[in-house]
Amino acid sequence: MQPVLKARDIVQVLNKKTVLKGINLEVSVGEIVGIFGTKGTGKTTLLHLLAGIDQFKSGTLEILGQDTKKGDAYKRHLGLVTQERSLFQELSVLENLDFIATLRGGQRSTIKQLVDRLELQDLLKEPVATLDNGLFQRVALACALLNNPKLLIADELIKDIDFYSRRLIMQTIKQFLQEGGTFICGFSHMDYVNQLNRVAWLSDGQLTFYQPAEAAAEWQRQFEEFNLRSGEIND
């Protein structure tokens, strides 16, 4: 079966610094792949390239069989939640949902379904600027799913949010995957690793692939090594 996303040798240079040094990634239908990395390793840079927000310097990217340098049609099938709060801050939750559905071709029935799934009923009149992180991420996810995307890309979707919102978000993602969706997410906390099918670990501009348990063990190993070295320096 054709992969949903296929990246080959992607290189990105920002301000003369080569942030991505040859990214190779293939993601299949129904997969949930986490792009993991410590602070500043380039997760956001990579996710923005995959979502077509920024152009990359070299390499190729195919999404849903389309070469992304040759057209934009694939963007109709993408959903995106960025790390920055990117909704219309002065508008209410319902106004955001209505407006984004109009822009992206979402149906009224989809709005209703997402409001129910993410339990947004009591928030509809609230300006999104006033929402705490958990509520905001629930609204951001609802907006990203309005066009029934085939590929959802999200950066730190469940970082620093309350457990209840995290549970609703993960249930919604699970349903999205069961209905044929595919999910790529940037994350920097190993607490969430068991939610993933595969981890693509970004370090020094390249990806290494792990099973979730292997990634957690590798993180623990690096953490202990770091502590040991810090101890040596302190001694």
Ligand X SMILES: Nc1ncnc2c1ncn2[C@@H]1O[C@H](COP(=O)(O)OP(=O)(O)OP(=O)(O)O)[C@@H](O)[C@H]1O
Determine the longest span between alpha carbons in the chain, in angstroms.
64
Cα 36 to Cα 33: distance, rounded to the nearest angstrom: 9
For ligand X, which is the closer residue by CB, 2 or 15?
15
Within its chain, how far is the Cα of 31 from the centroid?
A: 13
Closest separation between CB of residue 35 and ligand X, Å? 9
Task: Please report the sign of the dihedral spanned by the C-alpha atoms of residue 6, residue 59, residue 201, residue 73.
Answer: negative
Q: How far apart are CA 234 and CA 160, in angstroms?
A: 31
Nearer to ligand X by Cβ, of 53 and 129: the residue is: 53
Judged by CB, which is closer to ligand X: 142, or 157?
157
The least distance separating ligand X from the CB of residue 40, rounded to whole angstroms, comes to 4
Given the rule CB under 6 A, which residues bind ligand X?
14-15, 19, 37, 39-45, 83, 188
Residue 174 tokens, joined:
């699970």
Instruction: Let me know: does 142 contact 79? Beta carbons within 8 Å.
Output: no
Instruction: Name which of 44 and 92 has its Cβ closer to ligand X.
Output: 44
**CA 37, chain centre distance (Å):** 13
Single out the residue of 156, 124, 152, 153 nearest to residue 137, CA to CA: 156
Least Å distance, CB 43 to ligand X, is 4
Query: Considering the complex, what minimum distance in angstroms separates the CB of residue 18 from ligand X?
Result: 10
Distance in angstroms (rounded) separating the CA atoms of residues 153 and 52: 11
Residue type for position 75: K
Nearer to ligand X, 186 or 212 (CB): 186
The residue among 37 and 212 lying less far from ligand X, judged by its C-beta, is 37
